[in-house]
Structure 1
Amino acid sequence: ASYAATRLGLTHMREHGGPFFLEFVTYRMGAHTTSDDPTRYRTREEEASWEARCPIARLRALLEREGAAGPDFFSGADDDAARLAARTREFTRANRAGEVEEMFDHVYATSNRQVSHERDLWESYKNREAAARSGEPAGTGVGDAGVGAAVGGGAR
């Protein structure tokens, strides 16, 4: 199905130009985080059902069955993946963490009113927090909205 949908999209783009949207629905086998307990919201039967449909395991079984790949290939692929993961972790750890304000810099190719407003809210929040730590009074911020309003509001 994925191959057929991809071929359809490619044909569409070649004939009509422009983009084609493909959505692949997947199932996250692992927990959301290290503190997550998936047994609270899904059963073992549900997991087993999705595990049986795992595209990676299915492709591996097909390649083995057809004689296209064997244990040496998969062992090598696992080793390559482990090396790539190690290099990625090393690269990530070696690079500096950006300043929080940088999160506003590359949201869009050019700035817009919404992003500018959210940057102003962040600056206001940051200034209020700094003033609170120093014991000095601070202004109420941009339109009295506060950061909570910028990200959906609600009690903090």
Structure 2
Amino acid sequence: MPRGLQLVFIAIALVVIGVLLVYIWRQSRLLSEQRLREKKTQEFQARRRDEMVESIRVIAMAVEADQVEYSEACLRLKGLLEHVAPELLEKPPFRVFQQVHDKISHMPTHRARKKTDSETLTQLDQERYEVEQEFAEEIREAATTLRHYRFD
């Protein structure tokens, strides 16, 4: 094989090797960036979960100290538990949060409550108070159990 043709093949091989090295380097960088993003996402989700668990404990303590309306606590605890440990909403004693939520979820809150006439609000509040009284003992028991529950 002529010497010139050998040099052409060597040059082509060097160019291919160079292109492959650049490709490998870029892929490696992209992979490192992806791993870093995944790590940050996992850290964020873990921090968010820890904050939700802390919120659950604070609300449970507020229930135990009668510092919050039971209906409000049930709505908030149900929402937090759906994200942290949804299986608990199906188990006693925590099932009460779902039960109370189901009974009062039709009631207006926030802006919708402000737009509702006072007579309707009085009726809805009476209904809510009755639900709270019906489940009061179960709610307190569930809150105490929840405050000491180990979320792993």
TM over 0.5: no
TM-score, with length taken from structure 2? 0.22
- Which structure has the larger Rg? 2
TM-score, with length taken from structure 1? 0.21
Higher helix proportion: 2
